[in-house]
Amino acid sequence: MEILRYAAFTDNPGGGNPAGVVLDATGLDDVRMQRIAAEVGYSETAFLTPAGERGAAVRYFSPLAEVPFCGHATIAAAVAFAERFGPGPLRLAASVGEIAVDTEGNSATLRSVAPSSAPIPGDVRERLLAALRYEPGELDPALPLRAAFAGAWHPVVAVATRERLADLDYDEPALRDLMAEHDWTTVDLVWRESEFVFHARNPFPPGGVYEDPATGAAAAAFGGYLRELGLVPVPATVTVHQGHDLGRPSLLRVGLDADPASGVSVTGRAVPIP
């Protein structure tokens, strides 16, 4: 068994979001995978078990727990796979459904499962804002607070200024408990720079990570949210900048077609970490 380390959504090993990758996890049980993910220490490690030609079952583990879907580890695993077996399509069977990935060079594009979104009840909204230490007047009223899904659930919380996004200081125990209650994987904090350009930050206390530098699963869910609510004209490509406040700049491209039932594509580069 070989444990690889890649930085996803970047072409610089010092940027993006680090991910562990095991291209052949045959024979590993849950306990061993969880232990490896904790030892690697990145926000997620992807474990692939080969299944047919250019196909594999995939599972994702944070240092603390298994997660249903992870975008940056998918991009990292696809690029690692392509470097060893050649570029082209890769079919990944995750617990949430099939994730189709195409690779070219050190770039990969995943297509999520069908996205959806749901309102957040008022009492839960109040607890979320309190845990984030946000005031209602600091939010962007054009982007409603809502839970979004494209393989994992993420509440979308849009702030009105880049300065407020940069000032991240949340109540970690309170947010972790609230996220556990509602099965949220990360919280997607966003600021809209222009019609198709956004900046994001993603607290991830359930995984034992204060903040994720790049979150492909949240970007896919956010893309579905934008399309469902008519917040961008489609078809469209949306750019998400993330990780700059952590010193790990990341670039995610989110592709939206006009079919509301189709998956959301997320594109990014990945490079080995020496």
pTM for this model (two decimals): 0.97
Q: How far apart are CA 72 and CA 90, in angstroms?
A: 15
pLDDT for 267:
98
Encode pLDDT of 80-134 as tens digits: 999 999 999 999 999 999 999 999 999 999 999 999 999 999 999 999 999 999 9
pLDDT for 186:
98
Q: Which residue in this structure is represented by tokens 């069977």?
A: 93
- 232-252 burial, b at 16+ Cβ within 10 Å, e below that, comes to beeebebebbbbbbbebbbbb
Q: How confident is the prediction for the chain on average, in pLDDT?
A: 97
Do 173 and 60 share a structural domain?
no
Query: Is 26 buried (19+), middle (13-18) or exposed (0-12) by CB count in 10 A?
Result: exposed
Q: How far apart are CA 210 and CA 121, in angstroms?
A: 25
pLDDT for 71:
98
- Among 108, 127, 161, residue at a domain's last position: 108
Do 99 and 138 share a structural domain?
no
- Full residue range of the structural domain in which residue 161 is found: 116-272
- Among 71, 89, 108, residue at a domain's last position: 108
CB atoms within 10 A of CB 22: 25
Q: Using alpha carbons, select from 250, 273, 270 the residue that is nearest to residue 104.
A: 270
Q: What is the CATH number of the domain that holds 173?
A: 3.10.310.10
pLDDT for 234:
98
* Number of separate domains in the chain: 2
Do 163 and 127 share a structural domain?
yes
Do 185 and 52 share a structural domain?
no
Encode pLDDT of 58-83 as tens digits: 999 999 999 999 999 999 999 999 99
Do 213 and 172 share a structural domain?
yes
Do 254 and 150 share a structural domain?
yes
Encode pLDDT of 149-200 as tens digits: 999 999 999 999 999 999 999 999 999 999 999 999 999 999 999 999 999 9
Do 189 and 144 share a structural domain?
yes
Q: At how many degrees (to 10) do helices 172-182 and 122-132 cross?
A: 150
- Among 53, 85, 108, residue at a domain's last position: 108
Do 121 and 255 share a structural domain?
yes
Do 38 and 60 share a structural domain?
yes
Do 166 and 55 share a structural domain?
no
Do 254 and 132 share a structural domain?
yes
pLDDT for 86:
96
Do 165 and 251 share a structural domain?
yes
H/E segment holding residue 225? helix 216-228
Instruction: Report the share of the chain in percent with pLDDT over 70.
Output: 100
